[in-house]
A and B are shown apart, each in its own frame.
Chain A
Amino acid sequence: NAGVTQTPKFRILKIGQSMTLQCTQDMNHNYMYWYRQDPGMGLKLIYYSVGAGITDKGEVPNGYNVSRSTTEDFPLRLELAAPSQTSVYFCASSYSRASGRAGNEQFFGPGTRLTVL
């Protein structure tokens, strides 16, 4: 299994540009998440999904959009990029409670480092 993969690894955007961060997992996890991590800070939840067709806002959703058309993919869309969105973005996935697994221990991708100038 490749686990959770993210593309691109690095990206520089100009203010006002848009882009999509890709995330794919091959573990058949129902739950998927997008976080951002600013230097020296913890993880802040942007959006999450408990299954295909279902998404919900996290702590810091403004300026982002997501979709979940398949179990495997959970892309994050940035519209009108701003310098405040400069950060490292992590995608994660976990088993659902229905699977019998407890605690939602999460599997993370390697991250996308985004700079908005």
Chain B
Amino acid sequence: SQKIEQNSEALNIQEGKTATLTCNYTNYSPAYLQWYRQDPGRGPVFLLLIRENEKEKRKERLKVTFDTTLKQSLFHITASQPADSATYLCALTYSSASKIIFGSGTRLSIRP
């Protein structure tokens, strides 16, 4: 079965630096890869989507890359701020499926 791996250890970054989170998957590549943000006690919020034929997608301070050879996506937050502190979830969608498979998330902490 398909597996998604995200770094289970929390990532602590100094404010202003670039935070980079990793999402690795096994088996075949998804049609789409998504990133969500989840704050404590709240539901996940969609951030970005990248297609399998795209290498990179940007939105403001966020950047996502997708490498189907490495079976990996990287999620970057540039000029990080304490308000960026949250758990970030990676999710995969396959073209034949109606559902999404979520990773367990990486907790990011930005210290002032």
Contact = CB atoms under 8 A, between A and B. Distances in A.
Interface residues of B, number: 20
B49 to A, nearest CB: 4
A41 B107 CA distance: 11
A48 B97 CA distance: 12
A contact residues, range = 20 to 34
Given A92-B43, A102-B32, A109-B43, A42 B102 contact: yes
B89 interface: yes
B102 A103 contact: no
Interface of B: 31-32, 34, 41-46, 49, 51, 89, 93, 98-100, 102-105
Interface of A: 4, 31, 33, 35, 40-43, 45, 48, 50, 58, 90, 92, 97, 102-111
